[in-house]
Structure 1
Amino acid sequence: MCSLLWLCVTQFICGSEAVGETKNVVQKDAEFDVTYNDTVTSENQTIYAFNHTVSRNKTEGVRVSVDVLSQGFESPILFVVRQKQAVLSFQVPLILRGLYQRKYPYNHLGRTLCQPPTRAASETQYFFVDVSTLSSQGTNYQLRVSRVESFTLQTDKKFSFTASPSQPQYFKYVFPDGVDTVIVKVNSDMTFPCSVMSVQDIQCPVYDLDNNVAFIGMYQTMTKKGAITVQRKDFPSNSFYVVVVVKTEDEACGGPLRFYPLRPDELIDAGNRTKVIDVVVSPAINSEVYVMGMLFCLGIFLSFYLLTLLVACLENRMKKRREVFLNPADMSPAETGKTPASPYEYGSFADNGSTLSSEAITDSATSTDNNYGYMERSLESVGRSRQESLSSVEEDDYDTLDDIDSDKNIVRTKKFLCVSDLARKDKRILSKKYQIYFWNIATIAVFYALPVIQLVITYQTVVNVTGNQDICFYNFLCAHPLGALSAFNNLLSNLGYVMLGLLFLLIVLKRDIVHNRALVRNDLNALECGIPKHFGLFYAMGTALMMEGLLSACYHVCPNYTNFQFDTSFMYMIAGLCMLKLYQKRHPDINASAYTAYACLAAVIFFSVLGVVFGKGNMVFWIVFSVIHILATLLLSTQLYYMGRWRFDSGVLRRIVYVIYTDCIRQCSGPMYIDRMVLLVMGNIVNWSLAAYGLIERPNDFASYLLAIAICNLLLYFAFYIIMKLRSGERIKCLPLVCILFTAVVWGFALYFFFQGLSTWQKTPAESREHNRDCILLSFFDDHDIWHFLSSIAMFGSFLVLLTMDDDLDTVQRDKIFVF
């Protein structure tokens, strides 16, 4: 009765039979594992009736396989499978469409029937396979229905099967007791054909074709590797289907593009697209591993706080011992050499602008007991003057040097310069100038971070709602979800940047307070000795390190092609700020302003975006970038060589020709500033080589290439600074020396883990997953997480090196400290 009703409905919908025309309907009782060879025409329809016993405690799959022996593409055979709670229909030959609507016919088809749940302990279920066509000519076909014995996947047991575009496969997995999260791993030794792995809830129908597999559940493309983390809470039935579909084309996995058909209706031979696949379902980590991972991360970075506290206490004790030894309580201020002076100046200058040596002050103070005429200024007046508001003091209001601009040319172009020559401006002006670095980067951070956080939340929401796991480029073999986050471990490992950046800010704040107190009490060393203390750039560096952690965490919420700059922007800023700080140490009067520096860094980030979007294989872009790179190198070299006294105006070309004629052709004299020339020549060689490499190789990862340029220049300048420091007779104290050695070792290990390359958005998502690896630390962190740990420690160590490197000069007068 059910078969006759279905026949009436089919005839009504198709409307293919003429009025009064009868159709011969044959129903056959069919059996499993028997191949039926038959012929169908428009005048007859065959119904195969099957029955099987379904048990509540045992899941058994049923698979229908069909072969059409005739090449009748215009009038295919329609197969309709009617079950208790579902209807599955398909035509053979099956026409699957690829990119640009290219058509691929398949004469052999295999489909697995979904299994509706049963409440009874055992139940007999019936299903029917209806075969019909509109072709008046007879079409031969073969039909076989078989049981899938290994339909349920077992935990930690590998299961192998074969799939093709017309023969998709899916299997069931049931969560065992005590397991709330599992990882479904799919592997294949064959890169192509491209496949799709999907995880779907237990329901009918199962979407197992290339054109509908993305309708529900979670899915991702794959070549050799695929992995999806599945949580019990997302599947009310405590079970799910693992579906594997082979795509008709390979473009989604980075494969070659097939030729375009000459005619719109042309059918393309798909060839052999069979793929052998292994699937393993393994339990994921439990809550204890999450807790251990978080405690481990916190413990590592809190230990740096404790170590810093111990070092500070040790230094404080040693400092008190030195003060007791050098400054007995019964000595007068004149005997201790604590000569009060103006705290607003780095040195005491006479009316003619010449530097008054602090040695002369000390000698004058100790030669006679009553000659203290120049020390009549009380500490109270000094304190009142330091309380004056700095808001009315602007650097552009007036030049704090007594000499006019032409005299700067004389001072700054001397063959041998000392720090006192380039530390002549008012302290208040320079302090405010360098504090702008901190306030600007804090403002940038706020306006940069807010839209970034909003965007990555949207990305994560889209991934969770659509189930499309090709949006984000995770290391899927070590991506541990927590709440709505898909890879919590990648976020947690960025905590080090934030904690160590905050620790660095506290260390700088402590030094800043100590220095200000020394100025208030007119400490001679603070006023006349050592590298001038400016902490604005240090505050900016610590803030940049914290923002790098925050934005790197945002990037790893959903790493992909469109948000790469979140992870790299503050890396460029950190490299730039470190170079500026190195230059500022010996050139406090002529260092770049915050506005100029951040404008240059913004240009670098702008080129980074252009390079990723347009730079892949684009020769025009690489030529333009290489020219700009070389010109910027030459421009900066000229500025550094002439200490900013080279004017860039309409007469610059004429002056260049004149210098070349007089210095190179007429008398062939050597460079006046040999040390600077060595640095700049090496810098130009490095930068020109990097520009040539980019122009020839045109690397796909432009962001990393640009970062490599910044790091190479920073390392070159740092090495030059260390060499010149030692060459000038200066020494490196124990603490900075330990920091240098420790940081170098940590950087080496960090770069090793960085170059492991667990994923890459320069390739397709499927190709990126080929690089995925299992966790290597506490079953929670992967290689890239270890890079986060080590690089944050190495950056913190590098900052400490910059902060403490010139501590040996704190008691050396500035007119004895060389500029290089």
Structure 2
Amino acid sequence: MVLRSCWKSRHKSRSGAADCLLRPGWTVLLWLCVTLVACASGVVGETKNVVQKDAEFDVTYNDTVTSENQTIYAFNHTVSRNKTEGVRVSVDVSSQGSESPILFVVRQKQAVLSFQVPLILRGLYQRKYPYNHLGRTLCQPPTRAASETQYFFVDVSTLSSQGTNYQLRVSRVESFTLQTDKKFSFTASPSQPQYFKYDFPDGVDTVIVKVSSDTNFPCSVMSIQDIQCPVYDLDNNVAFIGMYQTMTKKGAITVQRKDFPSYSFYVVVVVKTEDEACGGPLPYYPLRPDELTDAGNRSKVLDVVVSPAINSEVYVMGMLFCLGIFLSFYLLTLLVACLENKRMGKRRELFQNPADMSPAETGNPATTDNCSTLSSEAITDSATSTDNNYGYMERTLDSVGRSRQESLSSVEEDDYDTLDDIDSDKNIVRTKKFLCVSDLARKDKRILSKKYQIYFWNIATIAVFYALPVIQLVITYQTVVNVTGNQDICYYNFLCAHPLGALSAFNNILSNLGYVMLGLLFLLIVLKRDIVHNRALVRNDVNALECGIPKHFGLFYAMGTALMMEGLLSACYHVCPNYTNFQFDTSFMYMIAGLCMLKLYQKRHPDINASAYTAYACLAAVIFFSVLGVVFGKGNMVFWIVFSVIHILATLLLSTQLYYMGRWRLDSGVLRRIVYVIYTDCIRQCSGPMYIDRMVLLVMGNIVNWSLAAYGLIKTPNDFASYLLAIAICNLLLYFAFYIIMKLRSGERIQCLALVCILFTAVVWGFALYFFFQGLSTWQKTPAESREHNRDCILLSFFDDHDIWHFLSSIAMFGSFLVWTCS
């Protein structure tokens, strides 16, 4: 055999073999002798001295290895089916050289584990970190027998010709199997990862694995892996299988029994070589990519505890509680509607018997609550706003009772009358003894109704085209999380994230049900009012025709639709909340704030309110800046300067639009007109403002907005979306306060129902904001830093602080909408 192998090794070419066969016999014999000597010398040179030793547990073996000797340590231990013991191999090498490392190979019954010392782990930018002290836990293959003896071998070899000293110790791991609700402490490092086994007890289908530490760094990774060999427990392979997440102080993963056929799993904890993944600083940048960096001391003490998660009864209770809260609003609304119908029935009976009525009950426009006298400024606003370029329809007093059943097809918004006596009709209206808000609405009601219906149809179209790709995207996100097991993709509150089916945090999705249900209830309320008002117009009811604020319900329908869409998109966002889909949760918040301000403005200025196209274009610009702020605003002073300038300019333009009621033009002569106004009103005669109340509002609004712009420029907050939303909410609250004050100044009174709604909504908003600022997670930081804010459930063991924010904010928004309808 040796001759044959040597013949093949020396004659690899077909022509060489043929020449050998043609040579004389003595030549062939001499050649065979030379070849035999060469092969014999090669075999002897490659022979190693292999030594096998019977080894024992908990004994430290000090030995030396070279390229000429190889040592095999033979171990045996008894494995029981009902008891799992961990086996850990610890190696320490004194040599610092890495050119010829020592190779350790552990051969087991169903697995082979190999590693070299020094162990080289790579970090960012291909940094190399050597580790001379290693500790690895051996995986334990399951056994079918009640008890059996298993053997495993540790082979030690190297290619270095110089002797290298090493220490080898194999020991049993105490408490290798984790117990339910019992904390276990351990120490881990990049070269000494740890993992433990957990078996699902009978009757437990879901558990939460919590790993915690007192220190932020070094950065760690916790992983949940099935019981199989090999176990991936190094920084460069821990993400290969199972579920995993980075952590600093806190980490939690919900594990379901159905995902593991053996009803058991490994909890693996690995310390990373660098802290960049957890938001920590990086070491110095290496001069060369292959430069070895000192690994340093990166040991970390951690605690692990496995607790049972909630059962199906808690899921049912959570869903019933959520439905019960919001269905109670439907019942309460039905009760109020019944009481209101009963009261209106008695009122109609009184109208049928006018002899029994007091003067205050006659329905005179001067005395009814629905028709209020107006301040001189309101009259002036109407007078100065009827000649602008919006094209107002002339409307005489006789045309007030015109039936709503006329065709709308012939009425267009841009129709206008150019008669010279248009002002005479205005004077006729103003000579009425009791002037109502409806008398100052000069445009035809049918035109305005069509104009405001566009708000609803536009937002419905936006909702459809916005929601469909959002739903598709979040389904993809959830699928990626489930397939890859990378739980750093989504920013959940992992200590209170209850899965259901493919969803990882069903409770955060369920809590958004309030927005949808209360938004639908608000639409039903508006629809009922719309139907009642139309019936009153058909029967020529004087109160519906002449008194009160002109009824246009298009903006109300848009507000209800926006509230429902906020719930849907917030639920989509919470399927996988992260940096790339934040706008799903905030887009319709901006729309709700904008629509509410437009509705308040429309209550006193129905003829000159912005069109739907202009309003939605402005809201689209706000959302566009929101995206830019999140992507480019973090620490970018140039962006903040540009945004602050745009914010201030927009505030000035809007102030001018509101003060002059739209009767100004932005063209090349605007600067000349500004200088002229300043000269005539401030320098020449120093006259006060024509509209004092409006000027006070605009001055306060500019102070607030300029202050917010200065705050953003100085602080440059990381959460730009919340900062932009705060600007919208502050302006809405400011304008609402001005609206209430002007109602009182004009002699109107706030009805009892509206006052109750205002107080109730203010209290609910206060509690809602408290829970909002708890901040259980934040995508402005790394996933590991976000998990530091995670907290346990506080309501029914199912809902967390953010879920309560969803409950309260949906109720508060619904109450705010009711205030808008009542005020």
Per-residue deviation at 1:504?
0.3
- What is the alpha-carbon distance in structure 1 between the residues aligned to residue 76 and residue 755 of structure 2? 82
Distance change in 2, residues 1:377/1:144 (3 Å): closer
Distance change in 2, residues 1:121/1:669 (3 Å): same
Corresponding residue for 1:182?
A: 207
Per-residue deviation at 1:55?
0.2
Per-residue deviation at 1:727?
1.8
Distance change in 2, residues 1:12/1:776 (3 Å): farther
Could you list the per-position Cα deviations for residues 712-742 of structure 1 after superposition, in whole angstroms to 9, with x for gaps in the alignment?
Answer: 0000000111111112221111111100000
Per-residue deviation at 1:508?
0.5
Distance change in 2, residues 1:378/1:248 (3 Å): closer
Per-residue deviation at 1:262?
1.4
Distance change in 2, residues 1:191/1:746 (3 Å): same
Give the one of 811, 816, 819 matched to 1:793: 811
Per-residue deviation at 1:161?
0.2
Give the one of 446, 458, 482 matched to 1:464: 482
Could you list the per-position Cα deviations for residues 208-231 of structure 1 after superposition, in whole angstroms to 9, with x for gaps in the alignment?
Answer: 000000000000000000000000
Per-residue deviation at 1:411?
12
SS in 2 for 1:62: strand
C-alpha contact (below 8 Å) 1:419/1:587 kept by paired residues: no
| Greater displacement, 200-209 / 378-387 | 378-387
Per-residue deviation at 1:16?
16
Per-residue deviation at 1:526?
0.8
Could you list the per-position Cα deviations for residues 268-309 of structure 1 after superposition, in whole angstroms to 9, with x for gaps in the alignment?
Answer: 112110000000000000000000000000000000000001
C-alpha contact (below 8 Å) 2:211/2:250 kept by paired residues: yes
SS in 1 for 2:354: coil
C-alpha contact (below 8 Å) 1:419/1:586 kept by paired residues: yes
Per-residue deviation at 1:366?
34
Distance change in 2, residues 1:181/1:574 (3 Å): same
Distance change in 2, residues 1:499/1:334 (3 Å): closer
Per-residue deviation at 1:379?
17
SS in 1 for 2:46: coil
Could you list the per-position Cα deviations for residues 378-410 of structure 1 after superposition, in whole angstroms to 9, with x for gaps in the alignment?
Answer: 999999953333234321244699867999999
Equivalent positions of 1:334-373 (< 5 A) are none
- What is the alpha-carbon distance in structure 2 between the residues aligned to residue 373 and residue 606 of structure 1? 32
- What is the alpha-carbon distance in structure 1 between the residues aligned to residue 84 and residue 362 of structure 2? 92
Per-residue deviation at 1:493?
0.3
C-alpha contact (below 8 Å) 1:198/1:218 kept by paired residues: yes
- What is the alpha-carbon distance in structure 1 between the residues aligned to residue 84 and residue 492 of structure 2? 34
Distance change in 2, residues 1:270/1:327 (3 Å): farther
| Greater displacement, 10-19 / 744-753 | 10-19
Distance change in 2, residues 1:612/1:207 (3 Å): same
Corresponding residue for 1:687?
A: 705
C-alpha contact (below 8 Å) 2:197/2:267 kept by paired residues: yes
Could you list the per-position Cα deviations for residues 297-342 of structure 1 after superposition, in whole angstroms to 9, with x for gaps in the alignment?
Answer: 00000000000011111111355346426745999999978xxxxx
C-alpha contact (below 8 Å) 1:223/1:766 kept by paired residues: yes
Per-residue deviation at 1:419?
3.4
Distance change in 2, residues 1:400/1:318 (3 Å): farther
- What is the alpha-carbon distance in structure 2 between the residues aligned to residue 367 and residue 258 of structure 1? 67
- What is the alpha-carbon distance in structure 1 between the residues aligned to residue 359 and residue 187 of structure 2? 91
1:325 and 2:343 are equivalent in the alignment: no
- What is the alpha-carbon distance in structure 2 between the residues aligned to residue 484 and residue 130 of structure 1? 45
Give the one of 306, 310, 328 matched to 1:285: 310
| Greater displacement, 13-22 / 487-496 | 13-22
Distance change in 2, residues 1:16/1:265 (3 Å): farther
- What is the alpha-carbon distance in structure 1 between the residues aligned to residue 89 and residue 675 of structure 2? 85
| Greater displacement, 510-519 / 600-609 | 510-519
- What is the alpha-carbon distance in structure 1 between the residues aligned to residue 56 and residue 380 of structure 2? 112
Could you list the per-position Cα deviations for residues 552-608 of structure 1 after superposition, in whole angstroms to 9, with x for gaps in the alignment?
Answer: 000000000000000000000000000000000000000000000000000000000
Provide the alpha-carbon RMSD of the alignment.
6.8
Per-residue deviation at 1:166?
0.1
- What is the alpha-carbon distance in structure 1 between the residues aligned to residue 33 and residue 239 of structure 2? 34
SS in 2 for 1:760: coil
Could you list the per-position Cα deviations for residues 205-259 of structure 1 after superposition, in whole angstroms to 9, with x for gaps in the alignment?
Answer: 0000000000000000000000000000000000000000000000000000211
| Greater displacement, 726-735 / 156-165 | 726-735
Could you list the per-position Cα deviations for residues 427-470 of structure 1 after superposition, in whole angstroms to 9, with x for gaps in the alignment?
Answer: 11000000000000000000000000000000000000000000
C-alpha contact (below 8 Å) 1:216/1:467 kept by paired residues: yes
- What is the alpha-carbon distance in structure 1 between the residues aligned to residue 674 and residue 390 of structure 2? 54
Could you list the per-position Cα deviations for residues 42-87 of structure 1 after superposition, in whole angstroms to 9, with x for gaps in the alignment?
Answer: 1111000000000000000000000001112111100000000000
Equivalent positions of 1:453-492 (< 5 A) are 453-492=471-510
- What is the alpha-carbon distance in structure 2 between the residues aligned to residue 140 and residue 492 of structure 1? 62
SS in 2 for 1:18: helix
C-alpha contact (below 8 Å) 1:202/1:240 kept by paired residues: yes
For structure 1, the residue ranges without an aligned partner over 5 or more in a row are: 338-349, 802-820
Distance change in 2, residues 1:456/1:416 (3 Å): farther
Q: Normalization by structure 2: what TM-score? A: 0.88
Task: Give the share of equivalent positions with the same residue, in percent.
Answer: 96
Distance change in 2, residues 1:119/1:525 (3 Å): same
- What is the alpha-carbon distance in structure 1 between the residues aligned to residue 385 and residue 660 of structure 2? 42
- What is the alpha-carbon distance in structure 2 between the residues aligned to residue 371 and residue 596 of structure 1? 16
- What is the alpha-carbon distance in structure 2 between the residues aligned to residue 351 and residue 792 of structure 1? 30
Per-residue deviation at 1:19?
7.3
Corresponding residue for 1:84?
A: 109
- What is the alpha-carbon distance in structure 1 between the residues aligned to residue 703 and residue 432 of structure 2? 26
C-alpha contact (below 8 Å) 1:30/1:50 kept by paired residues: yes
1:589 and 2:614 are equivalent in the alignment: no
- What is the alpha-carbon distance in structure 1 between the residues aligned to residue 369 and residue 723 of structure 2? 52
| Greater displacement, 269-278 / 392-401 | 392-401
Give the number of the structure whose alpha-carbon radius of gyration is greater. Answer: 2
- What is the alpha-carbon distance in structure 1 between the residues aligned to residue 205 and residue 482 of structure 2? 18
Corresponding residue for 1:143?
A: 168
Distance change in 2, residues 1:625/1:767 (3 Å): same
Equivalent positions of 1:176-215 (< 5 A) are 176-215=201-240
Could you list the per-position Cα deviations for residues 324-380 of structure 1 after superposition, in whole angstroms to 9, with x for gaps in the alignment?
Answer: 26745999999978xxxxxxxxxxxx9999999999999999999999999999999
Distance change in 2, residues 1:124/1:670 (3 Å): same
C-alpha contact (below 8 Å) 1:64/1:111 kept by paired residues: yes
Could you list the per-position Cα deviations for residues 462-519 of structure 1 after superposition, in whole angstroms to 9, with x for gaps in the alignment?
Answer: 0000000000000000000000000000000000000000000000001111111111
Could you list the per-position Cα deviations for residues 736-783 of structure 1 after superposition, in whole angstroms to 9, with x for gaps in the alignment?
Answer: 110000000000000000000000000000000000000000000000
- What is the alpha-carbon distance in structure 1 between the residues aligned to residue 146 and residue 63 of structure 2? 37
Per-residue deviation at 1:266?
1.5
Q: Count how many residue pairs are aligned between Structure 1 and Structure 2.
A: 786
Distance change in 2, residues 1:358/1:235 (3 Å): same
Per-residue deviation at 1:417?
10
Give the one of 274, 288, 299 matched to 2:299: 274
Distance change in 2, residues 1:195/1:175 (3 Å): same
Distance change in 2, residues 1:760/1:156 (3 Å): same
Distance change in 2, residues 1:465/1:367 (3 Å): closer
| Greater displacement, 394-403 / 724-733 | 394-403
C-alpha contact (below 8 Å) 1:413/1:642 kept by paired residues: no
Distance change in 2, residues 1:147/1:654 (3 Å): same
C-alpha contact (below 8 Å) 1:163/1:244 kept by paired residues: yes
C-alpha contact (below 8 Å) 2:448/2:607 kept by paired residues: yes
Q: Normalization by structure 1: what TM-score? A: 0.88
Distance change in 2, residues 1:97/1:11 (3 Å): farther
SS in 2 for 1:190: coil
Could you list the per-position Cα deviations for residues 134-189 of structure 1 after superposition, in whole angstroms to 9, with x for gaps in the alignment?
Answer: 11110000000000121000000000000000000000000000000000000000
Could you list the per-position Cα deviations for residues 76-119 of structure 1 after superposition, in whole angstroms to 9, with x for gaps in the alignment?
Answer: 10000000000000000000000000010000000000000000
| Greater displacement, 594-603 / 315-324 | 315-324
Distance change in 2, residues 1:512/1:431 (3 Å): same
- What is the alpha-carbon distance in structure 2 between the residues aligned to residue 166 and residue 214 of structure 1? 16
SS in 2 for 1:282: strand
Distance change in 2, residues 1:728/1:252 (3 Å): same
For structure 2, the residue ranges without an aligned partner over 5 or more in a row are: 1-28
